[in-house]
Amino acid sequence: MNHAGRLTSTAAALVLLVAMAPVARADNTQGITASSIKIGNLGPFSGESAVFNPLNYGPEAYLRYINDQGGINGRKFETIFADDACNEAKGIAAAKKLIYEDKVFMIIGHPCSGVAMAIKPMVDKEGVPWVGLSANPKITNPVTPSMFHVGYTGIASGEAMAGFALSNPGVKKIALVQHSNDWAHGYCEPATAIIKKNGGEVVVDAALERGSTDATAQALQVKASGAQAVMGCLYQPELVVLLRDLHKFGVNVPVLGALGADFEQTVAQVNDADAVKQIFFQPYQFKSPLGQGSLKQFHDMFLKYLTKDELPKSGEPTNFYYFGVPAAIVTVEAIKRAGPDLTREKWIAAMESLNKWDTGVFADTETITHDNHDGVHLMYAVGVSAEGKETVYKSWGKPAE
Amino acid sequence: MLSFLPQLVVSGIATGMLYALMALSMTVGYRATTVVNFGHGDMLMIGAYASYVLVAGIGLPFGPAIVLAAALLFLLGAAAQRLLMQPIIGGPHLSLAMMALAVGYALRGVARIEWGNDVLKLPRAYSSGVFVLGPVVVTTDDLVISGVVLVLLAALFLVFNVTAVGKVIQAVFQTQRGAALVGINVKAFHATMWGAGAALGAIGGVLMALIVPLTPDIGVATLVRGFAAMTLGGFGSLQGAVIGGLLLGIMEKVLGFYVSTVFIDITAYLVTILVLLIRPKGLFGQHATLRI
Amino acid sequence: MRVGRRPYWLIPLLLLPVPLFLDQYQQYVANLILVYVPVAVGFNVVVGNLGLLAFSNVAFFGIGAYTAGILMLKLGLPWWVTVLPAGIMGGIAGATAAVPALRGVRLFYLAIMTLAFGELMRWVYIRWEPVTGGSFGMSVPEPSVLGWALDVEARKFYAFLVLVVLMIVLTDRLLRSRFGRAFVAIKGNEEAAAAMGIPTDRYILLGFAWGGFVVGIGGSMYAALVGHLSPSSFDLTELILQFAIIIVGGLGSLVGSVLGAALLTAAPEFFRDLPGFEELLFAVLIIVVILFLPRGLASLLGRVHPVFNDRYFRE
């Protein structure tokens, strides 16, 4: 009994010791040395959502480009990738490794919304800068000091989708077709709010799950309802299926896709001009068509700095690369503005100083303040004109430039 | 509202043809080895990708591509059975189930590494057309898929009931021990039938590739439907698999349209649970002899 | 069969100083291992000890997690109060899943049916938005035990350790009792067991309910550790992981449950540099274990020292 007693009391003492000990906080120049800045790049590199990792490779290409130019203030970027497989438990492990073991300066990423919500308390508590691209606006609303959205959230996109549909005179009845997941709801819920606010009516709310091979029931519901436009909050394969089946049953109303699909690939995979001409539109985040105009330099950047495995099989960067790259562009700009004595606080202040700043990629300029960490809001729409040409529109029937 | 019913039924049959093929291909393997292949959906997926590589990558015309994809999957299925399943036959059923699942998961891992960053689509093999028959709309794809499945059914029927090989297969289905006693190589039989099931699954995959963009996860949903169809039709019954598949397709459409689209995804699960609770034998039960 | 009472007291004591040596990341991984131990233990009771092909484990896991989460979020209850209800709900779910088994459904039929049960639960999490938060999931408040906030990983470690030891001890007691012996008889030959007068129905129900209870407790731990519950965490991928844990660890073995949980939670962290290969490596691991080490890792350790041979049956 004595021996066990001593063992137990030693154990109890240890427990008390550890339990009382305050956790060492990461300091605010963590990840910064005289010659390098460590960036954690968090995202789904395995599993079902691996198809979205171009969102992670886009910004990485830009960081490699900056390194090629000599870095910022003598510091080059060192990226540490971490896989979350779009799973909360794994995502927390990945984030903890980045923050506590690799000791990164900040996290870029687009953790899936579930992961972002799961790591948010820790990121907030540790004050780690976070620039992300997940759809769920709850991550930056209400504002947490160190987390920023520099891409279009689901709110902005959903509003753009609904706004564009409603800009077509006479359109009041709208149908929703969406996945039963948080990503899709992140687009279709704000869209619904805008529709109702403008006196419109949601006449159908149909679910079309991932992996569906056809959308007959959904298309017929749309047809039966007399809807004048459709919000398709779907990933690319299902969007293709929906467009095909709507056309099959003679439902030729405008269909607004969400940002989970690449516009050009979708049009190509539907493979039927009549199914998309003046029918398929997507909110358009960019200033120019992909790879052209001001986006051409990024097209070349992706091809130059990304490896074969980091690019799609076709070799042509899809829209997710462009969607992701501003995370790095804005981060680098804030690092520039923060000056050579870089700290987290200075970086955050620099981010909040951005006012109508042009990333060169997005249609809208970035405006970030202390109370608003969602940088961009306004979007255009892209569609296929009556002549079959990819065209960017300001609103229904009004092409941009 | 009822005006939509014919269309729903017809489209349900078209989709159901894919489910029927899935269930059929799984039943072939099951009849031979009494093991349910939980990795079958992923074999279908590999078949789909194989056809993509052959058509888009090498430039093979569609017809030979299907045949070649089926042949490749035949070899893959037979090899998987011989090397991975056969050694553990007689062991706990859980191990068999998990082994099949793991094989499928491994295939998915390979597909993810190779094609995971993309959404790919099989180029069109024939021009898309739409045919209007009264209140019902049918596309060329619907006809092609249904046609191929029906042809396969007819071929299977002929093979099993008319040819000498078919009689041998029926014999082994009835009694493996008797077959072994008569000198039939039961191990080779297992591997061959597993391979045949995989080949049929591959054809299903190619047909799917006609209508849906490819991702490494397309096998999973179809696997579940295949199970439901097999359960509904009666495990082990080939005609049950087909009827079950068609009925499931129709149910999904009708339920989805008239009740709610949120039920489409769980129809298969509901059917499985209800059938196993109420009438576990399904529609056609389990036959001692083979009948299509 | 086994050596004495000593092993139980030593191991948790040896683990007490662990948080001193681990950083926040490693401690989190250790906590995640602890979460998966009861998940594996409960799963093993039904699949390993009873020998029934039940694919419903993720349903029990999710129900436990969501019960704890809902009680914390909607009723404001502190975490430690929600642990037992989570287990009880898991137990009820287990009893429900037992229904087809009681009606004689076995083998692959049972597997598919219980799998359907699990997927239907996931559908419920998605659809029952006012209660579960729907597809956006729910973020649960910080867990606490009797007022002691579990705000750092080390504290969670100790809280979890208590629960894990409790679950292992209780399950061990169950498996050594006449119930456990009945499980062995049912797994070996159900008809013979019934012929001998063993009320198989009762024991099957008990096995499922206990398994569900233990896994439900694991679910409440998951809620405390991860803090955000979403339906996609309780899908088929999760089921495959849980299967892998008990197969690699050793079916029907408590030691195996612990080993499997430890290996399959920690190993992916070591393979972080090879993303994309994970699915493949995982599958290969399962294949290799089934082919070459069918009794799992516990059997390997069992050759080293008999104390690890705690499989409650011979095969």
Contact (CB<8Å) A45/C276: yes
Chains in contact with B via at least 3 Cβ–Cβ pairs below 8 Å: A, C
Q: Is A384 helix (H, G, I), strand (E, B) or coil?
A: strand
What's the gap in Å between the CA of A124 and the closest CA on chain B?
31
Question: Is B170's pLDDT higher than 80?
Answer: no
Which residues in A lie closer than 8 A to residue C20 (C-beta atoms)?
Answer: 14, 17-18
Is the pLDDT at B287 greater than 60? The verdict is no
Q: Would you place residue B289 in the very low, low, confident or very high pLDDT band (cuts 50, 70, 90)?
A: very low
Calpha distance C166→C38 (Å, rounded): 10
Average pLDDT on A332-348 reads 93
- Considering only the beta carbons, identify the residue of C29, C230, C237 that sits closest to A114: C230
Nearest CB to C107 within list B88, B93, B277: B93
Distance from CA of C102 to the nearest CA of B (A): 11
| pLDDT interval class at A75 (50, 70, 90) | very high
Instruction: Locate the DSSP E strands across A6-121.
Output: 36-43, 76-83, 106-109
**Six-digit token string for C243:** 């299967």
Rounded to two decimals, the ipTM of the complex is: 0.90
Mean pLDDT of C69-87: 95
* CA atoms in the 13 A half-sphere facing the CB of B154: 6
Contact B220 C51 (CB under 8 A): no
What is the reported pLDDT for C193? 82
- Per-residue pLDDT tens for C257-304? 999 999 999 988 887 777 678 788 889 999 999 999 888 888 888 888
Interchain CB distance below 8 Å, C108 and B98:
no
**Chain C residues lying within 8 Å of B91, measured CB to CB:** 294
**Judged by CB atoms within 8 Å, which residues 235-264 of C form the interface with A?**
237
Rounded CA separation B254/B251 (Å)? 5
Is the pTM higher than 0.80? The answer reads yes
pLDDT at C277: 80
In whole angstroms, give the CA distance from residue C315 to residue C302.
14
pLDDT(B184) > 90: no
Res C66 pLDDT > 50? yes
CA distances in angstroms from C10 to A8, A11, B74, B183, C165, listed in the order given = 10, 11, 54, 59, 11
Structure-model confidence comparison of residues C260 and C314, the more confident one: C260
In chain A, residues with a C-beta closer than 8 Å to the C-beta of B214 are: 237
Partner C contacted by A19 (CB < 8 A): yes
Return d(Cα A290, Cα A316) in angstroms, integer: 10
Q: Are A200 and A191 in contact (CB under 8 A)?
A: no
**Residues of chain A neighbouring C136 (CB-CB closer than 8 A):** 113, 117, 136, 138, 182, 185-186
Q: Residue with structure tokens 């599958």?
A: C283
Average pLDDT value for residue range B67-96: 89
Q: Is the pLDDT of residue A262 over 80?
A: yes
**Cβ neighbours of A298 (radius 10 Å):** 24
Residues of chain B neighbouring C247 (CB-CB closer than 8 A): 94-95, 98
Q: Is C118 helix (H, G, I), strand (E, B) or coil?
A: helix
B190 pLDDT higher than 60:
yes
Residues B64 and B76: their CA atoms lie apart, in Å, by 18
C-alpha to C-alpha distance for A98 and A129, rounded to whole angstroms: 12
The reply to whether C275 touches chain A by the CB within 8 Å rule is yes
Mean pLDDT over A7-34 rounds to 65
The helix (H) or strand (E) run that includes residue B249 is: helix B238-258
CB within 8 Å: C47 and B93: no
Whether residue A102 contacts residue A40, with contact meaning beta carbons closer than 8 Å, is answered with yes
What is the per-residue pLDDT for C90? 96
Give C109's contacts in chain B (Cβ within 8 Å): 231, 235, 276, 280
Interchain CB contacts (distance < 8 Å): A and B: 106
Q: Quick check: A334 pLDDT over 80?
A: yes
Task: Kindly determine whether residue B106 and residue C53, on different chains, have CB atoms separated by under 8 Å.
Answer: no
User: How high is the pLDDT of residue C84?
Assistant: 96
C148-152 average pLDDT score: 89
pLDDT of residue B288: 32
What's the pLDDT score for residue C108? 80
Beta bridge partners of A280: A255
Residue A1 has pLDDT above 70, yes or no: no
| Widest distance between CA atoms in chain A | 91
Nearest by CB to B212, from A221, A241, A271: name it.
A241
Residue A344 pLDDT exceeds 70: yes
